[in-house]
A = this chain, B = another copy of it.
Amino acid sequence: MGESGELGEFGLIARYFTRPTPGAILGPGDDCALLQPSPGMTLATTCDMLVSGVHFLPDAEPRQLGWKSVAVNLSDLAAMGAVPRWLLLAGALPAADPAWLSAFADGVFACADTHGAELVGGDTTRMCRIGNAAGPLCLSLTALGEVPEGRALRRDGARDGDDLWVSGTPGLAALGLARECGQENGEPPVLPDALAGRAAAALHTPSPRVALGCRLRERSLAHAAIDISDGLLADLAHLLRLSGLDAEIGAHLLPALGAAEECSGISPGLLLDCQLGGGDDYELLFAAPPSARAEIAALAGELSLPLSRIGTVRAGGSPGGAIAVHEASGRTITPRRRGYEHFRT
């Protein structure tokens, strides 16, 4: 704390979080950042709060945490088909450790740079102590992106008969979490190294699907999209409710979390729980007309990103939001876990 104590808040901001912001009129250092949205563009904006002990482990590796803090926000922009532009970062820090801050900032900028976003402002403050214990690290990210007027991929645009598609491998992050922290009612699964590595990457350094969201929007391939950070079924239900529709999906159509031999030692129930209700996946779920199938398949190749057609949107009873999950045999499945929601007792 010696060095950081000398530096103080303003020195910390200047040292670790201030980099050139050529895409802003004015970056950090004034009362506000000044940003010039492009003519004809609509601003897409989102914010997320991440709390130690809720969203990440207190001993999270700081570079990964910096990356993920940005990634979860950029994922929301991706789900609207927006191009990332600017970020604001607020943090309440239990301590101001230079090595930690430096690594965290590296992760923030690595993810931001990958997707063309600039950190233009924010606020750092100290976190209080709770009795004799350090208070939790608390981070809030706001992301601003741009999308041409009237072209955003909203949740409410799905249509009867649309295909449902999902990117990547939903459930990998939840499998990684189960491995690190155990399951609700059981021991942590034992995963082969390669699968464990992919699961850890999905959990700690997710890739927001910015390119996918932008291409879907540019090529008018999708009617609606959402990211599945709350879990596939939970987020699909959001999309369906806002679109006033229902859906049926095939559990066997979801991409497998690993090759058959990799998954042979893992309970099938756990695998399905992760796929359908895992949460913390930053993949996109989107509704697209059957006429777009070939173009979507081509896009998957272009982006080197698996895109799986997992079901169909159906007109049903109001208010919409019902999801039937079936197996390859046609038998209906009742999922044990639908998704994660804070405050639900």
Contacts and interface: CB of A to CB of B under 8 A. Distances in A.
A39 B41 CA distance: 10
A47 B227 contact: no
B96 A343 contact: yes
Interface in A20-60: 25-26, 29-37, 39, 42-55
Contacts of A156: 30
Contacts of A238: 10
B342 A126 contact: yes
B47 A42 contact: no
Contacts of A39: 39
A124 interface: yes
Contact of A45 (B88, B126, B136): B88
A52 B136 CA distance: 12
Interface stretch (A1-9, A175-183, A185-193): A1-9
A317 to B, nearest CB: 20
Contacts of A79: 31-32
A99 interface: no
B34 A43 contact: yes
B140 A135 contact: no
B29 A155 contact: yes
Total identical chains: 2
Interface in A85-136: 86, 88-93, 96, 120-131, 133-136
B136 A128 contact: yes
Nearest to A132: B131
B121 A9 contact: no
Contacts of A89: 47
A145 interface: yes
A226 interface: yes
A304 interface: no
A341 interface: yes
A82 interface: yes
A126 B343 contact: yes
Given A47-B90, A130-B130, A142-B47, A342 B125 contact: yes
Contacts of A136: 127-128, 130, 135-136
Nearest to A82: B32
A345 interface: yes
Interface of A: 1-2, 4-10, 12, 25-26, 29-37, 39, 42-55, 75-77, 79-80, 82, 86, 88-93, 96, 120-131, 133-136, 138, 140, 142, 144-145, 147, 149, 152, 154-156, 225-227, 238, 242, 341-345
Given A47-B88, A130-B134, A130-B136, 13 more contacts: A1-B345, A9-B344, A25-B42, A26-B152, A30-B242, A31-B77, A31-B225, A32-B44, A32-B82, A35-B42, A51-B92, A51-B126, A53-B129
